[in-house]
Structure 1
Amino acid sequence: MLSSLFWKILNIVTTTIEWYVFRFILGKVSSLKEDKLTLNISFTMLILVTTTLNFMNVSPNIKLSTGVVIGFIFYIFNYEVSILKSIVVCLIYWMLLLSFDSISAGIVLTINSISNVNKILNNNIFRLELIIISKLLLLSLIPIFKIFRLQVDIKKRDFIYVCIPIIANILSIIVIFGYAFEEGRNSFIENIVIFIVSSLLLLSNISLIIVIHNIIRDSKLRLENSMIKEKIDMQYNYYLKLQDNQMRIRKLYHDMKNHMICIENIYGNSDVTKNYIDSINLEINSCEPVFETGNMILDIILSEKKSICDKNNIEFFADINFLKCNFIDMIDVCSIFSNILDNAIEACNKIDDENIGKYIRIRGTIVKEFFILKVENSKANKIITKNNKVITDKKDSFLHGIGINSIKNSIEKYNGEVVADYSEDKFIMNIYIPLQ
C-alpha cells in the first residue's frame, strides 16, 4: 500500500501538470501580457487553490466549476484576449481534460478486468494507473498545440453554436461518470460499454475542436475577402475619377495649345507676347502625361505614386509596356500596382539612415508569352516570413495584410505567380502573368 504522503505529493504533481498544460495552450492561442511576474504568481495561486480543494475532498463537480472559473480569471488577467474567446478556450480545455480522465478510466477497467468501478477511486495501483494514463494523454496536447494555433478572436455570431456542443459534451461526460460510479454497478460488460462510449466522446470532442477551428478560419477568410473586395472597389472608383479628370485635362491641354498658336499669330512676335506665351506653354506642358504604358489607369497610378515619392525624397523610376495586357481587368490593375507601390513607399519611408538611398524601380515587359513585372525598392526594416510567405510587420497584421492578399488574389485570377526576394537593404517582387 502506498503511503498517504505519496498520494499528497502525487496530487500536487498532477495538479501542476494540469495547469501547466493549460498555461502552455494559452500561450499558443493568445499573446501574453508583458508582466511575467504577475503570470507566475497567479499560476502558483491556481495550483494552491486546486490542491487545497483536493485535500479538502470537495465534490468533483464543485472542483470542476471552480477550476473553470479560476482558469477563466487567470486567462483574462494575464493574456490579451476577448471574453468570448477566453470562455471558449477554457471550456475546450476542461472538455478535453474530462475526456482524458474518462478514457483513462475505461482503459484501466478493461486491461485489469475490473468489474467494480469504485476500485479505481481508492488509493491503490489502479488509481495510479488511471492518473499516469490520464496525464500522459494530457501532455500529448503540448506537441499538438506546437503545430495547431488559434490566433483569432471568437465572434459573437460564432459563440453560441460553438459553446452549446462543448457544454453538451462536458455534461455528457459528467453523466457517464455518475452512472459508472453509481452503487450496484459491478458488471464488467457495463464497464466495457462505458469505455466504448468514453472513447466515442473523446473522438467527438476532437472532431468538435477541428470543426470549431474550421468555422473560425472560414469566418476569418470571409471577412478578409469582403474587406479585400471593398478596398479594391474603393481603389478602382478613386482611379476612375482620376481618369475622368485626366481626360478633361488632356482635352484642355490640346485646346490650349491651339489657342496659344492663335494668340501668337494675332499679336505677332513681340518679346512681351512671346515671353507670355512661353510661360503659359510651360505650364501646359507640365500637364503632359509622365508615363505612357498603354493603359490610362496604370499611367494615372504611376503618376500619383511618383508625386508621393517626390514629396518623400524617394527616387522613382518606371518603365512598363502594358500594351498586350488588356485581358487584365482594370480593377485588378488598380489592386496589383497601387498595393505594390504603396508597400514599396512605406518601406522607403521607414528608412532613417541617410546613407541608405530611397528608391523604387518598377519595370514591366513582355518576354515570350509572359508579362513580367519586377519591382525593387530599398528598405531598412526586417522582413518577417511565415510558412515561406512574407507577412506584414505591423501590429494589426490582419488589416494591414489585406494589401498583400489583394495582390496575390488578383494575380492568381490570371494563373500568375508572385516571387519575393530580399536582402538586408532591398526588396524585390517578381510577378509572372501568362498572356491570354
Structure 2
Amino acid sequence: MLLAYIFLIFLVFIIKFVVTKNNFIKNIHLIFFTFINIVSFLLIFRGAAKDINVNFVDNIFIIIIGFTIVIFNLYLLSMMDKLLESRRIEIENKFMKEKIEIEYKYIKKLQYSNENIRILKHDIKNHLICIRNIHNNKEAFDKYLDSVDIEVNKINDIYDTGSIIVDAILDEKKIICDNYNIKLYVKANFTGCDFISAFDLCTIMSNLLDNAIESNLKVKNSDCRNITVKANCEKYMLIIIVENNKSNKIIKSKQSIITDKKNKTIHGLGLKSVKKSISKYNGDLFVEYNDENFKVKIIIPTNI
C-alpha cells in the first residue's frame, strides 16, 4: 500500500510538471507513457511481492530499478520531443529561406519588366512617327507592327494579387503552363489575407496549381488545356477557386479523391496538404468534377 502511494505521488508530480511547463494537450502522450510505465512496474512488483523467496532488499532493488527504467524512458521520450521540435524549426527555417529566394527572384523580374515598360514608353513616340510614315506601304507596315508586337510580348505578365508569395507562385506556374500550351486565367485578390501564414498560403496555391497542371497534361488536345484561378478576400471569408480541364478518371475512396495513377499512395497528398493547411483556419474544401472539368473551391472564414 505504501508503494502504491509513492507511485501515485510520483505520477501526480510528473503530470503537474508537464502541465505547468508545457501545453497539456501537446504533452498528453508523455503523461500516458508515464502512466503505462508505472502501471507496468506495479504489476511486476506485485508479482515479486507474492513470491515468498523475495526479501526486503530485493524489493528495494526492484523499486530502484523500476524508478530508473521509468525515468530513463521519460528521458528518451523528452529527447524525441526535442528532436521533433528541432526538425520542425529546421523545416520552417528552410521554408522561410525558400520564400525569401522566391520573392527576391520575383522582385528582380518585376524590376526587369518595369525597365522594359519604361523603355517601350520612351520609344512609343518614335514608333508612332514610323507608323505614320509607312502606313501607306502595307507590307512594310505589317512587318513593322510584327516587330513591335514581338517586343511587347517580351514584357512578361505581371501578377498583382495583393500577396507577393501568390504572385511569385503564379509567375512560376505560368512559365510551366506556357511550355505545355496551358492557358492560365487569373482573377485573384488576396488583399487582407494576412491572417494566413505564408507557409500555408504557399502550400494551398502550389498544390492546387500543380494538380491542375498535371491534370491538363493528360488532355491530348493541347488547345483544350486551361486553368482558371479565382480568389477574393471578402468581409467575412476568403474564397479560392481553381478549375481545370481534365481527361483522366477520378477515383474516390472513403470520400477522398485518390487518382487514376498506379501509385495511389503518392498522388492525393497534394489535396491532403491543402486540407491540413485550411483546417488551421476552420476552412472547408469542396470538390466538383465531371468528365471534362475539375474544380476545387476553398472557403476560409476571415474572422477567426
TM class by smaller structure: 0.5 to 0.7
Unaligned runs of 5+ in 2: 1-35, 255-263
Q: CA RMSD in A?
A: 4.8
TM-score (norm 2): 0.60
**In the alignment, does 2:51 pair up with 1:107?**
no
Output the CA distance in 1 between the equivalents of 2:123 and 2:174: 25
| Alignment partner of 1:200 out of 54, 67, 73 | 67
Deviation of 1:202 (Å): 3.7
| Alignment partner of 1:228 out of 90, 95, 99 | 95
Amino acid at match of 1:107: R
Output the CA distance in 2 between the equivalents of 1:247 and 1:276: 26
Output the CA distance in 1 between the equivalents of 2:239 and 2:108: 28
Q: Do the aligned residues in 2 keep the contact of 1:106 with 1:194 (CA within 8 Å)?
A: no
Corresponding residue for residue 430 of structure 1: 298
**In the alignment, does 2:152 pair up with 1:213?**
no
Output the CA distance in 1 between the equivalents of 2:44 and 2:167: 72
1:373–1:329 distance in 2 versus 1, CA, 3 Å:
closer
| Alignment partner of 2:128 out of 241, 247, 261 | 261
1:420–1:192 distance in 2 versus 1, CA, 3 Å:
same
Amino acid at match of 1:312: Y
Amino acid at match of 2:49: T
Output the CA distance in 1 between the equivalents of 2:93 and 2:160: 31
- 1:172-226 per-position Cα deviation (integer Å, ceiling 9, x unaligned): xxxxxxxxxxxxxxxx332332343233234224423421331232132122112
Deviation of 1:260 (Å): 0.8
| Alignment partner of 1:319 out of 187, 190, 203 | 187
Output the CA distance in 1 between the equivalents of 2:302 and 2:92: 24
- 1:147-182 per-position Cα deviation (integer Å, ceiling 9, x unaligned): xxxxxxxxxxxxxxxxxxxxxxxxxxxxxxxxxxxx
Alignment of 1:323-342 (within 5 A): 324-325=191-192, 335=202, 339-340=206-207
**In the alignment, does 2:115 pair up with 1:248?**
yes
1:312–1:264 distance in 2 versus 1, CA, 3 Å:
closer
Q: Do the aligned residues in 1 keep the contact of 2:235 with 2:302 (CA within 8 Å)?
A: no
Higher helix share: 1
Output the CA distance in 2 between the equivalents of 1:245 and 1:252: 11
Output the CA distance in 1 between the equivalents of 2:199 and 2:44: 59
Identical-residue share of aligned pairs (%):
14
Corresponding residue for residue 9 of structure 1: none
Corresponding residue for residue 239 of structure 1: 106
Deviation of 1:354 (Å): 4.8
Q: Do the aligned residues in 1 keep the contact of 2:284 with 2:298 (CA within 8 Å)?
A: yes
SS at match of 1:368: coil
Amino acid at match of 1:306: K
Output the CA distance in 1 between the equivalents of 2:116 and 2:252: 41
1:189–1:435 distance in 2 versus 1, CA, 3 Å:
closer
SS at match of 2:230: strand
Output the CA distance in 2 between the equivalents of 1:380 and 1:241: 41
Output the CA distance in 1 between the equivalents of 2:107 and 2:196: 13
Q: Do the aligned residues in 2 keep the contact of 1:371 with 1:435 (CA within 8 Å)?
A: no
SS at match of 1:363: strand
Unaligned runs of 5+ in 1: 1-95, 118-187, 386-391
Q: Do the aligned residues in 1 keep the contact of 2:189 with 2:232 (CA within 8 Å)?
A: yes
1:294–1:435 distance in 2 versus 1, CA, 3 Å:
farther
- 1:67-88 per-position Cα deviation (integer Å, ceiling 9, x unaligned): xxxxxxxxxxxxxxxxxxxxxx
Corresponding residue for residue 142 of structure 2: 275
SS at match of 1:432: strand
Aligned length: 249
Amino acid at match of 2:106: Y
Q: Do the aligned residues in 2 keep the contact of 1:314 with 1:360 (CA within 8 Å)?
A: yes
Amino acid at match of 2:68: L
SS at match of 2:85: helix
Alignment of 1:57-76 (within 5 A): none
Q: Do the aligned residues in 2 keep the contact of 1:106 with 1:198 (CA within 8 Å)?
A: no
TM-score (norm 1): 0.44
Deviation of 1:419 (Å): 3.6
Q: Do the aligned residues in 2 keep the contact of 1:236 with 1:334 (CA within 8 Å)?
A: no
Q: Do the aligned residues in 2 keep the contact of 1:239 with 1:301 (CA within 8 Å)?
A: no
1:330–1:418 distance in 2 versus 1, CA, 3 Å:
closer
Corresponding residue for residue 305 of structure 1: 173
1:366–1:214 distance in 2 versus 1, CA, 3 Å:
closer
1:209–1:192 distance in 2 versus 1, CA, 3 Å:
same
1:224–1:374 distance in 2 versus 1, CA, 3 Å:
same
Deviation of 1:247 (Å): 1.0
- 1:8-45 per-position Cα deviation (integer Å, ceiling 9, x unaligned): xxxxxxxxxxxxxxxxxxxxxxxxxxxxxxxxxxxxxx
SS at match of 1:430: strand
Amino acid at match of 1:314: I
SS at match of 2:130: helix
Output the CA distance in 2 between the equivalents of 1:330 and 1:249: 33
- 1:274-298 per-position Cα deviation (integer Å, ceiling 9, x unaligned): 2233223322443566566455955
1:430–1:279 distance in 2 versus 1, CA, 3 Å:
same
